[in-house]
A = this chain, B = another copy of it.
Amino acid sequence: MTEDSEDDNTVYIGSKTAMSYVHAVVTQFNEGQETVHIKARGKAISRAVDVTEFIRNRFVEEAEVENVEIGTDQIQTDEDGELNVSSIQIDLTK
């Protein structure tokens, strides 16, 4: 999984501008998805909230936040260690 891959109705937030992810989510809705899952880890969590708020306030005003889950993911580091990183999943429906 790359940080900003998109499959099905999930958009992974990485280090691009918020607007590029806004575009990805709006495209999912325009293609007929009723729910889009916005996922992020670490410092990108703030950007995931920005993306959600941009969409709700400006681009898809009927969109609603259905659920927000926070958690911790274990990621593998290069030197066979494990690192804990915070995560968020925001479910947005229209």
Contact residues of A with B, CB < 8 Å? 42-46, 49-50, 52-53, 57, 65, 68-72, 84, 86-88, 90
Contacts and interface: CB of A to CB of B under 8 A. Distances in A.
B86 A71 contact: no
Contacts of A50: 86
Number of copies: 2
- Looking at A68, A86, A90, the one whose CB has the most chain B CB atoms below 10 A away is A86
A88 B57 CA distance: 16
A72 B86 contact: no
Contacts of A46: 42-46, 86
Contact of A90 (B43, B44, B52, B70): B70
A90 B49 CA distance: 13
